[in-house]
Amino acid sequence: MKRKILIGLAIVFIGIQFIPITLNQSEKVSENDIIVSLNPPQEIAELLKTSCYDCHSNNSKYPWYDKIAPVSWWVAHHIDEAKEELNFSEWVAFTSKRKNHKLEEMIEVLDEGEMPLSSYLIMHGDAKVSTEQAEQLKNWINTIKE
């Protein structure tokens, strides 16, 4: 009986691998991207790419385990939600009011240490934002507010 259950679970696991997801990857960086349009200092650009862009842009980097269902479904859902909230690849398309609102939210999230998500940091420790990096990013944000 246990063997039949294990075989059934294995078949289901293999079967769900064939359910496609849309990967969040594009061929090139958009002219609407915040880094392209605002040309931040190199350390700010690198911080955004390392700590924010996997979820908040149109070009995520997927390690091997992010391509295995059901993990791939969970990751795709998180990316979709993150891009709904803020997509750095579409920055230029935002109104001035929306840009300023998103910048204020970024400062708030940095102050509260809410981003990157702790679940993301488990496998992406290099994305952790130090106190010094958060201050640098907040200082830069304050210089670009309209």
Domain total in the chain: 1
- Statement: residue 16 has pLDDT above 80: no
Angle between helices 96-112 and 131-144 (to 10 degrees): 160
56 is in which domain, residue-wise? Answer: 2-144
**What mean pLDDT, rounded, does the chain reach?**
87
Cα dihedral value 26, 27, 28, 30, nearest 10: -40
Can you give the pTM of this predicted structure? 0.81
pLDDT(133) > 70:
yes
